[in-house]
Amino acid sequence: MANSSYTLGVPFTVKDLLDTEGIRTTYGSCALDKNIPDKDIVAVSRMKAAGAILLGKTTTPEFASKVTTDSLLTGITRNPWSHSLSPGGSSGGDCVAVVTGVVPFGVSTDGGGSSRIPASTCGILGMKVTIGAIPHESWPFHCGNNSSISMNCRHPVDLSGLFNTMSGAHRLDPWSRREISSIDASSVFYQSLASKRALFIPTIGGNIVDDEYLAVVQEALEQLKGLGLNVDVALDDPTHFNPGISTQMMACNLAARVRQMPKDQQEHLGPVLQGLLNEEKFRMDGVSLQSDAISRSGTYDRLEHLLSRYDFIFSATLTAPPPLADPDSDQDITVNGNKEAISKWWTHLSISNLTGHPSISIPCGNDANNLPVGLHAIGGWDREQDLVTLACAVSKFYDWTKNCPLE
């Protein structure tokens, strides 16, 4: 579905978890610091064929194993809004490149929130597409088929051009599909929300949102109501989503990958992945795997039931401000004055990775420290156009495209 007129001559970046021909691709790991692929992944190849210019690779934690962007290979990537804080991860480098104006957009991955987390902290858009909408063949582990190609940018209409350029089936990815509808970039800004319905689930996945963050999101929902969107609120979580299922699947898939690496490469892995080599809890038996698969199917069924009644499922993208950037520091988060484990910051996002639905983080305001706050939306299967339309609607009352942390 290449759209050469849209991307012709435009620079972009690629997360260093995606293969690029002739350009070092390290996956953020010292173990692969000399890895130079002989071909591009399909998504990058399609961008180049449409005339886009690959400016370079962006930082990621080792094998996307963390939700902060730091590694022994590339050091610490910092949040441009507050340098003591992390931009999140694992697509932190891509989002920092976009918000600081290095490029207008970047191509990344999202296996559990990796694109949407740093998009929220940086104050830009991060959209994970429906599983299989864009081929994703080169990542050496498919994260239990949780991972999708994603895109980060400032302007909502850019999402249309990027999606139309990269989407469509390819033989190298058996999950990719031929029946993909293009996004009509000429209409998304003018489409009305009056016929749309949304359900706001503030405690989805059992994570509690900081009151200040929650107030920013609720104000955005009031503005959307003023634009005609019908919004209901669920005080309890009707998805009954257990984030532990998706985090366990991701960890086990990653553990399986690194255990298959040659010994001379394993010796150069960082501490997180060294732990995966040795932890017995990541040696799941067949019964446990099947149990998780059954739970995954149940989550999908419940989310699909909700999306048969609603066009969007809303939550806050993150529950609190970002943790500190330095990996040697305390990287807990603070929610309503209480310290919480970093898992309470983001794991609710992984529901759409588990089910394959498209999802997006949209900037919707700032907290008292002028840090960006994101509104998260899950859409129906192959309903990326609805998510782009929603982003355009939010931009009518909160224009984040003019915000720059370097000013």
The H or E element spanning position 362 is strand 359-366
CB 39 within 8 A of CB 21: yes
Beta strands in 62-188, from DSSP E residues, in sequence order: 70-71, 75-76, 105-110, 125-128, 148-153
Q: pLDDT, tens digit, for every residue of 182-234?
A: 999 889 999 999 999 999 999 999 999 999 999 999 999 999 999 999 999 99
Q: Is the pLDDT of residue 311 over 50?
A: yes
- Strand 372-379, strand 148-153: pairing: unpaired
Is the residue at 407 inside a domain? no
Does 298 reside within a domain? Answer: yes
247-289, pLDDT tens digit by residue? 888 888 888 889 999 999 999 999 999 988 877 766 767 777 7
Q: What is the pLDDT of residues 363-389, one digit of tens each?
A: 999 999 999 999 999 999 999 999 999
Q: What average pLDDT does this structure show over 315-328?
A: 97
Confidence of residue 342 (pLDDT cuts 50, 70, 90): very high
pLDDT at 256: 85
Q: What pLDDT score does 141 carry?
A: 44
What average pLDDT score do residues 91-119 get? 97
More confident residue, 111 or 284: 111
Please give the average per-residue pLDDT across 166-186, as a whole number: 89
**CB-count exposure of residue 8 (10 Å: 0-12, 13-18, 19+):** exposed
Nearest CA-CA partner of 188 in 163, 167, 225, 219 = 163
| Reported confidence tier of residue 3, pLDDT bands at 50, 70, 90 | low
What percent of the chain stands above pLDDT 90? Answer: 83
Please state, rounded to an integer, the average pLDDT across all residues of the chain: 93
What pLDDT, on the 0 to 100 scale, is given for residue 30?
Answer: 98
pLDDT bucket at 4, cuts 50 / 70 / 90: low
Q: Which domain holds residue 219?
A: 4-402
Q: Could you give the percent of the chain with pLDDT greater than 70?
A: 96
**Lowest mean pLDDT: which of 42-46, 124-128, 283-287, 317-321?**
283-287
Give the torsion sign (CA, 86, 90, 93, 99).
Answer: negative
Count the domains in the chain: 1
- Average pLDDT, integer, range 278-305: 83
Q: Which of 249, 253, 254, 251 is nearest to 293 (CA)?
A: 249
pLDDT of residue 99: 97
Measured between alpha carbons, how far is 390 from 223 in angstroms, rounded to an integer? Answer: 12
Q: Compute the distance between CA of residue 327 and CA of residue 311 in angstroms, rounded to an integer.
A: 39
In this predicted model, what pLDDT tens digit does every residue of 84-95 receive, in sequence order? 999 999 999 999
Secondary structure of the chain as H, E, C letters: CCCHHHHCCCEEEEECCCCECCECCCCCCHHHCCCCCCCCCHHHHHHHHCCCEEEEEECCCHHHCCCCCEECCCEECCECCECCECCCCCCHHHHHHHHCCCCCEEEEEECCCCCHHHHHHHCCEEEECCCCCCCCCCCCCCHHHCCEEEEEECCHHHHHHHHHHHCCCECCECCCCCCCCCCCCCCCCCCCCCCCEEEECCCHHHCCCCHHHHHHHHHHHHHHHHCCCEEEECCCCCCCCCHHHHHHHHHHHHHHHHHCCCHHHHCCCCHHHHHHHHCHHHCCCHHHHHHHHHHHHHHHHHHHHHHCCCCEEEEECCCCCCCECCCCCCCCEEECCEEECCHHHHHHHHHHHHHCCCEEEEEEEECCCCCEEEEEEEECCCCHHHHHHHHHHHHCCCCHHHCCCCC
Active-site annotation, residues: 15, 90, 114
Binned at pLDDT 50, 70 and 90, residue 138 comes out as low
Dump pLDDT digits (tens) for 56-90.
999 999 999 999 999 999 999 999 999 999 999 99
CATH code of 241's domain: 3.90.1300.10
The predicted-structure confidence for 20-43, as pLDDT tens digits, reads as follows 999 999 999 999 999 999 999 999
Q: Give the C-alpha separation, 347 to 148, whole Å.
A: 16
